[in-house]
Structures are given as structure tokens and as C-alpha cells.
Amino acid sequence: MNVVISYDIPEDNRRNKIHKILKSYDQWMQYSLFECELTATQYAKLRSRLSKIIKPEQDSIRFYFLCACCKDKVERIGGEELVDNTIFFA
């Protein structure tokens, strides 16, 4: 599944932890925005890890699910080139 994840975490230490976890799953796009290609198991594990860190009364994490057709329609102007994380085996 293709997931865009955004977060708003006011406290630096928690925000850094969230960022580090998300970066281990896929590509950091903007300050508080990640694009991830996740399996259902990876998504469940990620959500669990993030839930243990955040303070729900202060923090917000949003998950936007993109279908394959929608992902192909994402447009970008500027920024770093996207990293292709696809691995091919011969």
C-alpha cells in the first residue's frame, strides 16, 4: 500500500524519534512528510511503534492511503529527486 504520512509533533525529542522511525520505513519528502510503500504487516507495526511514542492530546500523525492510480498522478515541482527503492533480482 502507498501511504503518505504527515505529522505535527511540538516537542523536539518526540518529533526526532518519530522522524527516525519513519525514515527507517521509506523516503522523507518534506519536513514532516513521508511517502511509504508498506505491506499491511509493516503498516500495523509502524502504527504500533508510533502510538507508543506520541502524546495524543498534543501530537498528530495522519496516514493518507493512495491507490496505484492516484500515486501515478502525484506531481512534484522542485526538491530532491525521488529514490527508487525497488530491488531487482536476476
| C-alpha–C-alpha distance, residues 85 and 76, integer Å | 18
Residue 89 domain-assigned (yes or no): no
With CA atoms as reference, report the closest residue to 61 among 11, 5, 20, 1.
Answer: 5
pTM across the whole model:
0.77
Q: Give the pLDDT confidence score for residue 80 in this predicted structure.
A: 61
Q: How far is CA 60 from the centre of its chain?
A: 13
| Helical spans, DSSP H, in the chain | 12-23, 40-53, 68-72
Q: Give the pLDDT confidence score for residue 89 in this predicted structure.
A: 40
Indicate which CATH number applies to the domain containing 50: 3.30.70.240
Average pLDDT per block of 10 residues along the chain, 90 residues long: 93 94 84 90 96 95 88 71 49
Residue 83 domain-assigned (yes or no): no
Q: Give the pLDDT confidence score for residue 90 in this predicted structure.
A: 41
Identify the domain containing residue 7 by its residue range.
Answer: 2-72
